[in-house]
Amino acid sequence: MSINIGRFSDTTEPTPEEQPGMVSEGQKPPELVYGSAEEFLHEQLLPTYVRDVDGRAAKWCTEWYFHPEAVSRIEALWRAWEHLRLDGATGISVWFRDHADHHMNVLMDPRGPFYKCDMQKHRDPEHLEPRKAPEGWFPDVRAIRS
């Protein structure tokens, strides 16, 4: 019996070359299912991670790509998914628990990166403007290692 959930499926134990992070010498790494974070968002993430986005309890911006934090988190979700999909035992559970639920809760939080937007209009986020620390407080570790 095979159950498909999005692009995850219950399979038998992966062979050594299919195990996450395991690529034998001379073998190519597994091919990606999706070619970009955007393709992953449209074809896997949003169709399977459905929530009521009412603007009060959850927010989303249709122009999510203008939000650097959103881009970074969606990229992280995609890369984690590509890695964990190879684990036929617990990959989907680990991905939802450790990645999707965490990052999507942050992204859709009313005070999250889309806090100024609504479903009809994007508004540029305000970036934090930190001051530079006094000289010498954070030495460049690349120079220390040399």
Classify residue 61: in a domain, yes or no.
no
Q: How many domains does the chain have?
A: 1
Classify residue 26: in a domain, yes or no.
no
Classify residue 76: in a domain, yes or no.
yes
Estimate the crossing angle of helix 101-108 against helix 68-84, to 10 degrees.
160
Q: Which helix or strand (DSSP H or E) is residue 143 part of?
A: helix 141-145
Classify residue 90: in a domain, yes or no.
yes
What's the angle, vertex CA 36, arms to CA 126 and CA 24, rounded to 5?
Answer: 125
Two tokens, residue 5: 């959930």
Confidence band for 107, pLDDT divided at 50, 70 and 90? very high
pLDDT value at 143 more than 90: no
118 burial via Cβ count (<10 Å: 0-12, 13-18, 19+) = middle
Classify residue 117: in a domain, yes or no.
yes
> Cα 21 to the chain's mean position, in Å?
18
More confidently predicted of 123 and 42 = 42
Confidence band for 20, pLDDT divided at 50, 70 and 90? low
Domain that includes residue 102, residue range: 66-122
> Which pTM value belongs to this model?
0.74
Please write the tens of the pLDDT for every residue from 70-90. Answer: 999 999 999 999 999 999 999
Classify residue 108: in a domain, yes or no.
yes
pLDDT value at 122 more than 80: yes
**Do 58 and 52 touch, CB atoms closer than 8 A?**
yes
pLDDT for res 11: 43
More confidently predicted of 4 and 68 = 68
